[in-house]
Amino acid sequence: MIILAATPIGNLGDASARLVAALEAATVIAAEDTRTAQRLLQALGVGNRPRLVALHDHNERERAAELAASAAETDLLVLSDAGMPTVSDPGYRLVAEAVAQGVTVTAIPGPSAVVTALAVSGLPTDRFTFEGFPPRKPGERRTAFGALANEPRTMVFFEAPSRLADTLGAMAAAFGADRPAAVCRELTKLHEEVRRGTLAELAAWAEGGVRGEIVVVVGGAAPREVGADEAVAHVLRLVADGIRLKEAAAEVAAATGHSSRELYQAALTARDTRSEGVRGSN
């Protein structure tokens, strides 16, 4: 089988007993960086010396089929440099190939920068979306943020410290300067820091320079004031695109603040009225 193993994102004390046991038992490890994997083995006092193979963004596409096939015969432990493999890290193509080949895939859960930042951000955690690293080019970044401007869920991003100020400024322009956010720096490490404020305030703070691993958490858009007729029309458009009526009503309700049940009933009535009109004209 393939075993995806979450590794510490900073504090080695977060390594689970299952992770240590898996490292001790592994015969083959596919690692994002084999040198980082070797340091992890040493730091955790693991005496085992498994065969290490590189699995990173530049070779995963070519190696996925071969590694998945070999995992059918010998367990393959998969490590990224920090956190859970496949989450903004190598591993997705390998898992997809393993699924296609019928190879079992399991995971050893553990540290996650995404969930840790979300938990300490002080922003809503009931619904969230992980957006990874924003585009580097200003135009592409502006387009990406524009598409997320009305996203009602809390959003989680990764960003490099050198681009943080520009990214926060672009977020303020797209989402609104007063949108609440948090910048989480060096999570679980000695110099862990969580800065909370509006996007404008955080952008001004970041202009002074920021170091370390960065996670940005941004509050979702407030429900837009939309009239009932417009909301029902939106539900019907979603239904016309193939979404089930109940799901469409729930989605529009989350974005507008209208009652999901009332939207459902109104859309159902409107749809039936249209159908009767079409039959009558024939």
CATH of residue 42 = 3.40.1010.10
Residues 12 and 96 in one domain: yes
Residues 122 and 107 in one domain: no
Least confident of 60-64, 101-105, 275-279: 275-279
Of 89, 79, 113, the residue nearest 213 (C-alpha): 113
Residues 14 and 66 in one domain: yes
List all residues 6 or more positions away from 11 whose beta carbon is below 8 Å from its beta carbon.
Answer: 188, 189
Domain boundary among 111, 138, 173: 111
Is 90 inside a domain boundary?
yes
Burial of 176 (C-beta count, 10 Å sphere; 0-12/13-18/19+): middle
Residues 13 and 51 in one domain: yes
Q: How confident is the model at residue 281 (pLDDT cuts 50, 70, 90)?
A: low
Is the Cβ–Cβ distance between 233 and 271 less than 8 Å? no
Spatial distance between the Cα atoms of 151 and 174, rounded to a whole number of angstroms:
11
Is 47 inside a domain boundary?
yes
Work out the angle at residue 115's Cα, subtended by the Cα atoms of residues 195 and 102, and round it to the nearest 5 degrees: 150
| pLDDT at residue number 241 | 87
Residues 98 and 169 in one domain: no
Domain boundary among 218, 239, 260: 218
Spatial distance between the Cα atoms of 112 and 57, rounded to a whole number of angstroms:
19
Is 161 inside a domain boundary?
yes
Residues 213 and 243 in one domain: no
Check whether 199 has a pLDDT greater than 90: yes
Residues 119 and 107 in one domain: no
Residues 264 and 193 in one domain: no
- The CA radius of gyration of the chain, in Å to the nearest whole number, is 23
Of 112, 54, 60, the residue nearest 90 (C-alpha): 60
Is 36 inside a domain boundary?
yes
> What's the CATH code of the domain at 165?
3.30.950.10
Residue 54: CA count within 13 A, CB half-sphere: 9
| pLDDT at residue number 123 | 98
Is 223 inside a domain boundary?
no
Domain boundary among 199, 218, 237: 218
Between strands 193-198 and 180-185, the pairing is: antiparallel
Q: How confident is the model at residue 252 (pLDDT cuts 50, 70, 90)?
A: confident
Residues 131 and 213 in one domain: yes
Strand partners, 214: 159, 185
Instruction: Note down the domain range covering 248.
Output: 228-281
Residues 83 and 156 in one domain: no
Q: To the nearest 5 percent, what fractions of the chain are helix, strand and coil?
A: 45, 20, 35
pTM: 0.80
pLDDT tens figures, 34-81 = 999 999 999 999 999 999 999 999 999 999 999 999 999 999 999 999
Query: What are 44's two structure tokens?
Result: 């955790």
- Which pairs with CB-CB distance under 8 Å and at least 24 residues apart come from 44-53? 44/12, 44/15, 44/19, 44/20, 46/20, 48/23, 48/24, 50/23, 50/26, 50/77, 51/27, 53/28, 53/29
Residues 130 and 148 in one domain: yes
Spatial distance between the Cα atoms of 56 and 64, rounded to a whole number of angstroms:
10
Q: How far is CA 97 from CA 70, 79, 105, in A?
A: 12, 17, 10
Least confident of 67-81, 200-214, 244-258, 266-280: 266-280
Is 244 inside a domain boundary?
yes
State phi, psi for 172 to the nearest 5 degrees: -60, -40
Strand partners, 195: 183
Number of domains in the chain: 3
Residues 8 and 37 in one domain: yes
State phi, psi for 250 to the nearest 5 degrees: -65, -40
